[in-house]
Structure 1
Amino acid sequence: MSLRPIALGIILLLSPTVSSAKQVTVLDFRQGIPGIWEQGPCLSAQQTPEGFALAATTERCSILHTTRDLRHPIETLSLTVISPARTEIVFLWHRRDAPRGHMVELPLVLQSIDGPQTIVLNLPRYPQWDPTTDRIGFALPKNSSFILQNITFTRWSLWEKAAAAFRSFWTFDTFRPYAINFLWGPIIGWNPVWQEQLFTSIPPVGWSVSRVFLSLLLPLGVLCLFFCFRRGWKTSTCRSASVLFGTMFVGFWLLFDVRMGLELLSYVKTDWETFLLKPPSERRFRVFENFNAIAEESIPLLITSPKYGFVGPRGAPFGSLMRYFTYPIRPLSPSDPEEQRSRLRHWLVAFRDDARISPRGELFLGDIFLAGPGIIVQRFGKDAFLFEVTGSATSP
């Protein structure tokens, strides 16, 4: 028996895999500055052992990199950076069909954490993205800096995209307040990063599976009616087409039913593991996390004053909950007049990564002065704490 047909078959089977293999390009700035970078006169750029140190002092500045030599399209991009403070920078790219000076801007937030942090961008989710862009870059606001350690450009293989699409169907959203009224249902993401970030934005970006199923069912239904009208309702052709349509409809219905049932069970599983099985001090309840435990431990100190300050996550009803918990004592927020805020002795900060204590012991929310000087009486995590004023408040 000749092995030539078998070998030929193996080559034909493997050739699509090889041609569609994953492609990755890494720019590592700890070993030098790869490629061509064009910086504005107001930007300080220096290669250091930690990476590419960028700083803007007098005004907003930008730096651009030419990507014409990149040998593959860009589908996802990851940045590893070191940021000494919370900084809002802008990621820039140029569409090849746009004028040379026209750059698309995507705001990014660099957190103030110890050590490197990685930001992964699923670029196909942005309609303005050009996978074959010829220029990318960054814009830094005035008085900002960060260190760029590396940039990774990735093009995913066909098989990885197919696997990510399959996993996306079985990727569930977490329980959110809107789940009382509706659920998003299965959404398809077309690469592994897309699948991981599927429900991190509202609304989720991706293809609704309903569009895929309806695009199959509707043409089949029209074809079924055509055969039945053309050949007669009692013919074998009409019966076969009707059976095929009904089987697909019921199959899709059952598949959706199983998938959505598993999503509801995932909510129960999460509540069981993070709330019911945990001791009271470690309980996390859905979007409220451990807020009830934080409030319970803070209230005895907060109600010792006529009023107190509260800072909670944006768009969450935690302020209303605190007003209910401490009634008739009303919490004040950063939006209240500074004259009222300056007389507060205690502030409860919950789930705000932009809250910070200055070297002088003053409490800031971003650049907004809240109170101080003072001390953190109790910390409930990296972004939740109880602050007490120990000296006279002096707004900077």
Structure 2
Amino acid sequence: MVNVLKQYFPMIRSRGEVLKDISGNERLWELYLSWKEEQQKEFLDFCTGIKGVKILYDSFFKEVMDPDSAPERLEELLSLILDQNVKILTVLPNDSTRIADESSLVIMDIVIELADHSVANVEVQKLGYMFPGQRSACYSADLLLRQYKRVKSEKGKAFSYRDIKKVYTIIFYEHSPKEFRCCPECYLHRAAQRANTGIRIDLLQEYAFIPLDIFHSILQNKGIRNKLEAWLTFLSADSPELIGQLIQEYPQFKKYYEEIYTLCTNVEKVMGMFSKELQQLDKNTVQYMIDEMQDELDAKLKELQESEERLEEQKGKLEEQRGKIEEQKGKLEEQRGKIEEQKGKLEEQRGKIEEQQDLIAKQNAQLLEKDADLQASQEEIRRLKALLCGMEENRKK
């Protein structure tokens, strides 16, 4: 297989040459054997040009982008990101009490003071923090407070808030947090505080977020379209073909790569740099897993609390329904009592009615008997009248 990068950088050595240097030094050989197999392969791949060096690692970035020895490189990059002319005045000590400093997911972090005395923090996160907005705001506030204390100490009684300058927070993500996935066509997000009325109030804190995983998706489809994209390709691409394309289109980056591959000929130094990065990455990965597990735990705890609240609400509703049922049951018992009372009265009335019916029947029987006697009497009267009439006729004759 053709080694694309060796065509541009003849100082790149073969795998056998690099391993010979390592195995010839007992300490380096022990260090090499302490790495995992995939880490050994990664180290040999970038030393031999099979893949590009990950320049965003702290040691490699500061080697090629050192703001003290070659400030113009970082100045150009920041000018493109912030869309303004940037000049570096000095590098500031990064000694803040940053959030979770002992378990940071940051793989590169540098703080610089610009020519207008504003402050810029440039950092790289391999695995993006959860809550990126909140975290960035807290760290930006910390930098602003550091500047305030430093300037106030320097100025003394002559201090004025006009002396406080902007604080820029610039964050590169190798694997960006989920918040950035909703904009798959954007790899640069600038943020600043603004008043809704449009009045001009300088609130000092500005941000730039660069999700490199999203940038690479765009790069694969559209290629390198401008100088900023050329810089982002230089910082994050490890494909030899892509690096070759970058050098062809933007020759200035060839010099930067030459410095890196010249550095790779110093096996002892570059192994020390790589080992330092591995230690930080291991710690980062563990912390990221802990954070993810904590996030999952917090989510499940929230779900449990919500379930308990729903159960309590349902329990309250059931108690309320039970109360209504008991109330209805009481009313039904009351109605049943009234029905039984009415039933008793009906039975009593039925008895009286039956007594009246028996009395009526007796009276009817008596009437029938009297009617029969009356009819017999009437018949006897008719017979006597007939007899009387017969006697009267006989007497007349």
TM-score range, shorter chain: under 0.3
The normalised TM-score by structure 1 is 0.20
Tell me which of the two structures has the higher relative contact order, counting C-alpha pairs closer than 8 angstroms and 6 or more residues apart. 2
Q: TM-score, normalised by structure 2?
A: 0.20
Is the helix fraction higher in 1 or 2? 2
Q: Which has a greater percent of strand?
A: 1
